[in-house]
Amino acid sequence: MKMRLVLSFVRPGAKPDPTFADAHCAGPGSNLAISYGLQHLGPGPAQQRFTPQRIRGDDEKKSNFIHMPLSLSTLWTDKKKRSLLIQTAVIVALVLFAWTVISNTATNLEKRGIASGIGFLSQPAGFDIVQTLVPWEMSMSHGRVLLIGILNTLLVSVLGIIAATIIGVLMGIARLSDNWLLAKLAATYVEVLRNLPLLLQVYFWYGLTLMWPKVRDSFDIGGVIFVNNRGIELPVPQFQDGAGIVLGALLAAMIGAGLFWHLAGRSAEREERPLPRGLICAGLVIGVPLLAALAQGFPWTWDVPVRKGFNYRGGLSVLPSLVALWFALSTYTACYIAEAVRSGIQSVSRGQHEAALSLGLKPSWTMRLIILPQALRVIVPQLISQYLNLVKNSSLAVAIGYPEIMSVFAGTSLSQTGQAIEIILITMVFYLTVSLTISFFMNIYNRRVALRGEAGQ
Amino acid sequence: MRIGIIGKAGLASLLALGIWASIWGSASAGTLDDIKARGVLHCGTGPGLAGFSLPSSSGEWIGFDVDFCRAIAAAIFGDPKAVKFTPLTAQERFTALQSGEVDVLSRNTTWTFSRDVNLGLEFAGVTYYDGQGFLVREDLGVKAAGDLDGARICIDSGTTTELNLADYFRTHGLEFDSVIVKGADDARSNYDAESCDSYTTDVSGLASIRASLPDPENHIILDEVISKEPLGLIVRHGDSEWGDVVRWVRNAVILAEELGINSGNVEKMSASSNPEVRRLLGTEGDFGSQLGLEKEWAARTIRLVGNYGEIFERNVGKDTELGLERGLNALWNNGGILFAPPMR
Ligand SMILES: N[C@@H](CCC(=O)N[C@@H](CS)C(=O)NCC(=O)O)C(=O)O
């Protein structure tokens, strides 16, 4: 059974007159449809003119398309066909416009002696890049610079998204806590960070990293980790023969744990005293690879950073600019995520909570099984836009020299080649692609957690 | 100064849009006519390098690069203050010129092949012959660039500096890590916090940064210079008349020094019997009108801004904090290579 809310708007004072304007809204949510029947001036079948459009279901919509009669005389008078005609015209005009812009720009650039085209992408760049996730030589091309910039953007974005989500969820839940102090602290956090310009926060964290100890008095953690204002020097494992087996064991344990979690989860809903799933999974993931490592005699050594000459050599050096940007992005975005989480939880009606309580569910179960699944429907769309914002905000890296795409490609490559138009366009395409990809996946997820079907069904 | 950085992300795209808009405008209108019509010269300088371009506490721009803009304004309007200065980072400068946001760039910019040929720009003469050097703390014990193997070095991005550094270390089989800084201010705070062992840029820039450190006496500029950096004035390609104006203002201040004319004696010198002096100061011939300027264009510039020597000594010379020697920038007949074509 379908339930719909139908609203009709009429001009105040006027008697309901379908020839003027009427709008029908149908709820809830995605089934919303609004249609206007504007006063018709041109010729056309009188009946169609004056009958307000009905709100159609999906199947009706389809049949409407199929049965559209193809006659030239109705090309303009038929609303459907007219809109199709206009849309086609707009697309053709847009393509033509884009083509003129591009060809004109190219000829004009040439006339002014400014290089154009994307040939520069294969020209050697000739400068150093501080952090590269793929091998880099100064004789490599600007195309490679683009790749490095993209990877560095993705690195800080992924790190930022993970941290922001964790902080945001904790803060969001804390804001609703019964513990007064905790709730107030979380509220203050959100209010303060949300109201300071992000660039300022980036500078703040970056300024702090400059105040870390100098190399010669690096902060020493157990003789293996060193912190100074040039970076955080971490040891990295160097794998030897047999490491593959340990890694394989880890992977297998993770897959096994996942499967177990899923299967045990099903029965857990029925059983009175379910297995301690978390404990067993943790044991699997840690224990199995540990046994494998023992059997292989720990097949790795540690490359520990050592002070040599001016700097630390060996190990992995994490850039202060990466740390600063990561902190700034994740703490800032976490505010908005906290708000999303809070509004999501509050959107679940109090009755759900009380019902769960009266059924005798543990509070942690109530949260996990009753509240969160429903709250997610409200939270996820907001998360999408916050993740998108975080990726875009990562471009503030230009201010502190972290080598992501804006800084290294739309900054350094741009000024070394002077090809501003091409480089800015490529950069825009990159951001657009990332944004659309994130929206795409989050929308799929969103559709999965959204309420299925319609109310009353 | 961080003004340049704040809108950075947006600025780059705005400037790109600017180029796009400008190349769509009518084919290169007379820049000089535009400037005369608006009554003010648009000049691009550095955002804050003491001695070269720095706003004073009263908001007035002062410095060596700034004075060349003032000299051009004096030649056009007889008013060295008829300039609007746009502070530009190394990364923004060419786009700003290409897009027409500034008429001329006077911002310690090195004349190179690709900038001259590939960017649609034209160099209108060298104002300062420089080279790239290194600033280090004295107690590091570094004596030559070769000692910097494995060091962490601060560089401005979008400069010849970063390219030279990469070339130098590669050809000498040395290694380095770079820290990217944006402009003099950022360079100073990074270098001062020792987040890099050395700062490298044009020696003149190093002198300026060194002078602004809290303890200049503990820092040295290595004697070794690893590149040629002819710093000059730049205009857009395709408007040769405007290029001529800028080029000859630069030549005029050099010729003035060569001919012994300065801001103090310019009135007296116009009565001189030396025909080259008379041509320069407009008492003979019509060089001014050939440039589209008034007869006494050069005389005004010299009276209001001074000759090359005066500009140099006032801003960066021995008696300033920078304390730079004339060196290569002495006149050709005085041990340097500073040279201007004859005025005839
Ligand atoms: N001459 C070099 C480097 C020029 C450059 O940008 N140097 C920096 C460091 S001294 C600078 O001038 N900054 C000006 C400022 O920050 O005001 C070039 O043309 O690429």
**Mind spelling out the 3-state secondary structure of chain B?**
CCHHHHCHHHHHHHHHHHHHHHHHCCCCCCHHHHHHHHCCEEEEECCCECCCEEECCCCCEECHHHHHHHHHHHHHHCCCCCEEEEECCCCCHHHHHHCCCCCEEEEEEECCHHHHHCECEEEEEEEEEECEEEEEEHHHCCCCHHHHCCEEEEEECCCHHHHHHHHHHHHCCCCEEEEEECHHHHHHHHHHCCCCCEEEEEHHHHHHHHHHCCCHHHEEECCCCCCCEEEEEEEECCCHHHHHHHHHHHHHHHHHHHCCCCCCCHHHHCCCCCHHHHHHHCCCCCHHHHHCCCCCHHHHHHHHCCCHHHHHHHHCCCCCCCCCCCHHHCEHHHCCCECCCCCC
CA distance B332 to B343: 16
| Domain closes at, from B179, B212, B227 | B227
Amino acid at B238: G
- Tracing tokens 């154009």 back to the chain, one arrives at A116
The 10s digit of each residue's pLDDT in A362-386 is 888 888 888 888 888 889 889 988 9
Classify residue B76: in a domain, yes or no. Answer: yes
* Cα of B155 from ligand 1 centre, angstroms: 10
Position B10 confidence tier, pLDDT thresholds 50, 70, 90:
low
User: Which tops the pLDDT comparison, A239 or B194?
Assistant: B194
Give the mutation candidate from B8, B88, B122, B153 for the A interface (greatest A CB count, under 10 A).
B8
Picking from A334, A333, A345, the residue whose alpha carbon sits closest to that of residue A372 is: A345
CATH at residue B158:
3.40.190.10
Task: Quote the distance between the C-alpha of residue A24 and its chain's center.
Answer: 35
Cα R_g (chain B), whole angstroms = 20
> Which CATH code fits A142-234+318-455?
1.10.3720.10
B183 lines ligand 1 (CB under 6 A): yes
Position A114 confidence tier, pLDDT thresholds 50, 70, 90:
confident
* Cα of B110 from ligand 1 centre, angstroms: 9
Look at residue B191 in the predicted model and tell me its pLDDT. Answer: 95
CA distance A209 to A212: 5
> What is the signed CA dihedral for B243, B249, B251, B256, rounded to 10 degrees?
170
B47 lines ligand 1 (CB under 6 A): yes
CA distance A421 to B119: 12
Total tally of structural domains belonging to chain B: 2
**Both B126 and B136 in a single domain?**
no
Question: Whose Cα sits closest to atom 14 in ligand 1?
Answer: B46
**Both B241 and B285 in a single domain?**
yes
Per-residue pLDDT at A186 exceeds 60: yes
Per-residue pLDDT at B157 exceeds 60: yes
Classify residue B305: in a domain, yes or no. Answer: yes
- Tracing tokens 């205009």 back to the chain, one arrives at B235
Question: Which tokens belong to B128?
Answer: 């300062």
- Mean pLDDT of all residues in A319-336: 96
- Tracing tokens 């299925």 back to the chain, one arrives at A452
Domain hosting residue B187, numbered range: 132-227
CA distance B180 to A152: 15
**Both B186 and B241 in a single domain?**
no
Beta carbons of B5 and A399 less than 8 Å apart: yes
| Domain closes at, from B227, B259, B280 | B227
Domain ranges of chain A: 3-76, 78-111, 142-234+318-455, 236-303
- Report chain A's mean pLDDT, rounded to a whole number: 81
Look at residue B34 in the predicted model and tell me its pLDDT. Answer: 95
Q: Are strands A225-228 and B121-130 parallel, antiparallel or unpaired?
A: unpaired
- Whether the CB-CB separation of B132 and B110 falls below 8 Å is answered with no
Position A269 confidence tier, pLDDT thresholds 50, 70, 90:
low
Look at residue A278 in the predicted model and tell me its pLDDT. Answer: 81
**Both B180 and B324 in a single domain?**
no
Per-residue pLDDT at B153 exceeds 50: yes
**Both B51 and B198 in a single domain?**
no
CA distance B150 to A230: 13
Q: Which of A40-49, A127-136, B285-294 has the lowest mean pLDDT?
A: A40-49
Position A336 confidence tier, pLDDT thresholds 50, 70, 90:
very high
Classify residue B5: in a domain, yes or no. Answer: no
Contacting A residues, span 132-161, partner chain B, CB-CB under 8 Å: 138
Picking from A384, A359, A373, the residue whose alpha carbon sits closest to that of residue A451 is: A373
- B-chain CB neighbours of A199 within 8 Å are 6
Beta carbons of A418 and B94 less than 8 Å apart: yes
Question: Which tokens belong to A32?
Answer: 């919303």
- Mean pLDDT of all residues in B1-22: 54
Amino acid at A133: L
Q: Which residues contact B9 (CB under 8 A, 6 or more apart)?
A: A395, A396, A398, A406
User: Which tops the pLDDT comparison, B1 or B279?
Assistant: B279
Sign of CA dihedral A346, A347, A350, A353: negative
Within a 13 Å sphere around the CA of A342, how many CA atoms are in the beta-carbon half? Answer: 19
- Whether the CB-CB separation of A383 and A391 falls below 8 Å is answered with no
Per-residue pLDDT at B46 exceeds 50: yes
Nearest CB neighbour to B12, from listed A111, A129, A414: A414
* Cα of A320 from ligand 1 centre, angstroms: 24
Beta carbons of A109 and B120 less than 8 Å apart: yes
Per-residue pLDDT at A209 exceeds 90: yes
Q: Which residues contact A76 (CB under 8 A, 6 or more apart)?
A: A42, A82, A85
Check if B182 contacts A (Cβ < 8 Å).
yes
Picking from A118, A139, A135, A117, the residue whose alpha carbon sits closest to that of residue A127 is: A139
Nearest CB neighbour to B179, from listed A138, A401, A406: A401
What is chain A's length?
457
**Both B93 and B146 in a single domain?**
no
**Both B157 and B90 in a single domain?**
no
Classify residue B178: in a domain, yes or no. Answer: yes
- Tracing tokens 């030649």 back to the chain, one arrives at B75
Per-residue pLDDT at A61 exceeds 60: no
Position B20 confidence tier, pLDDT thresholds 50, 70, 90:
low
- B-chain CB neighbours of A424 within 8 Å are 12-13, 16
Q: The pTM is what? A: 0.79
CA distance B108 to B112: 12
**Both B52 and B110 in a single domain?**
yes
Nearest CB neighbour to B95, from listed A112, A229, A420: A420
| Domain closes at, from B209, B227, B245 | B227
**Both B58 and B41 in a single domain?**
yes
Position A203 confidence tier, pLDDT thresholds 50, 70, 90:
very high
Look at residue B295 in the predicted model and tell me its pLDDT. Answer: 94
Preceding amide of A135 cis, omega within 30:
no
What is chain B's length?
344
**Both B149 and B83 in a single domain?**
no
B87 lines ligand 1 (CB under 6 A): no
**Both B113 and B241 in a single domain?**
yes
Look at residue A455 in the predicted model and tell me its pLDDT. Answer: 45
Question: Which tokens belong to A118?
Answer: 């994307």
Atom number, ligand 1, closest to the C-alpha of residue B229: 1
Beta bridge partners of A308: A311
DSSP character string of A153-194: HHHHHHHHHHHHHHHHHHHHHHHT-S-HHHHHHHHHHHHHHH
- Whether the CB-CB separation of A304 and A315 falls below 8 Å is answered with yes
User: Which tops the pLDDT comparison, A65 or B334?
Assistant: B334
**Both B223 and B237 in a single domain?**
no
The 10s digit of each residue's pLDDT in A397-434 is 999 999 999 999 999 999 899 888 899 999 999 999 99
CA distance A34 to A56: 11
- A-chain CB neighbours of B182 within 8 Å are 398-399, 401
Task: Select from B1, B3, B49 the residue to mutate for testing ligand 1; criterion: most ligand atoms less than 8 Å from CB.
Answer: B49
- A-chain CB neighbours of B91 within 8 Å are 411-412, 414-415
- Whether the CB-CB separation of A268 and A257 falls below 8 Å is answered with no
Per-residue pLDDT at A201 exceeds 80: yes
Question: Which tokens belong to A271?
Answer: 């059983």
